[in-house]
Amino acid sequence: MEFTLKIWRQQNAGAKGGFKTYPLKDVSPEMSFLEMLDYLNKQLIEGGDEPVTFEHDCREGICGTCGLYINGRPHGPMRDTTTCELHMREFADGDTIFIEPWRASAFPVIKDLAVDRSSFERIMHAGGFISTNTGCAPESNSNPIGKHVADLAFDAAACIGCGACVAACKNSSAMLFASAKIAQYAMTPQGKVERKERVDQMVRQMDAEGFGACSNTYSCEFDCPKGISVDFIATMNKEFLYSKLFGQKG
C-alpha cells in the first residue's frame, strides 16, 4: 500500500508548526498505525532526517498515551479503537492521511505529535484517591456492592485518560474524563469517605487547568476509545450538587 502522510511538525509549544508531506510506499495492511509511523521514522533516520516525535507505550489499547488526531478524528476513523489498535487496512491504498496532535490549550505541544497531558494528572492528584485501611484485607462480604453498581463503576474505571474526549469537544472540555474518575469512586462504599471533597477539588482543578465547559454534543462519548458514557457527567453533576448542598464537612 502507498500513502501520502501530512504530518504536523512543531519543535515545541512556543514554535510555529505546520504540516509536512511524506510519501510512504510498501506499507503492509497488517501494520498498526504506530508501526506505520515506526516504518516512516526508520526511513527518515536512514535518510539523515529528524524522526517524527509521537507518544506510545503499551500498544495494546490500555495506557492511553498514543492519542493522535487522524483525518479530523481522535484515534482515527474506527469507533472504540485506540490509535495503536488501528490498522492500515482500514485506509484505502493511495489515501492522503492527515496526522495531528491533540488541539487544546490545556495540552501544550511538547514536540510534533506529542503533547503534555500532565493536566490530567493534576486533576487526579486533586481528588482521585480513597482513604482505606491498608492492613489486613477485610472480609469480602463486609462491603456488599450490587452487581449493577459494580458494573457501572467498572465501566467508569475503563477510562484510560487518553484525552480523546478533550480533542473531540469543540470547547476542549475534560468533563467526560473527570466524571469517569469521580463516578468510579462515588458509586462504591470505599469511595464515599471523601465524596464531598473529591468532586469539589477535582472540578476546581479541572477549571484551573483551562478546560472548557461541556458542549452537550456527545462528541466525547462518540470518540472515546473505551465508550465511556456521558451519563457519568450527570453523576458528576449530582455529586457536585450534593457537595454544595451538604458542605464538604457535613
Indicate the pairing of strand 3-9 with strand 96-100. Answer: parallel
Transcribe 134-178 into DSSP letters: -SSPPPTTSS---HHHHHHHHHHHT-----HHHHHSTT-B-HHHH
Q: Are 99 and 113 in contact (CB under 8 A)?
A: yes
Instruction: Name residue 166's amino acid.
Output: V
pLDDT (average), residues 37-50: 98
Could you give the angle at which helices 195-208 and 118-127 cross, rounded to 10 degrees? 160
Q: Domains in the chain and their CATH numbers?
A: 3-110 (3.10.20.30), 118-246 (1.10.1060.10)
Each residue's pLDDT tens digit, 214-236: 999 999 999 999 999 999 999 99
Question: pLDDT of 8-17, one tens digit each?
Answer: 999 999 999 9
Longest dimension (CA), the chain: 65
Q: How far apart are CA 3 and CA 120, in angstroms?
A: 34
C-alpha cell at 152: 457501572
Q: pLDDT at position 94, please?
A: 98
Residue 28: pLDDT over 60 = yes
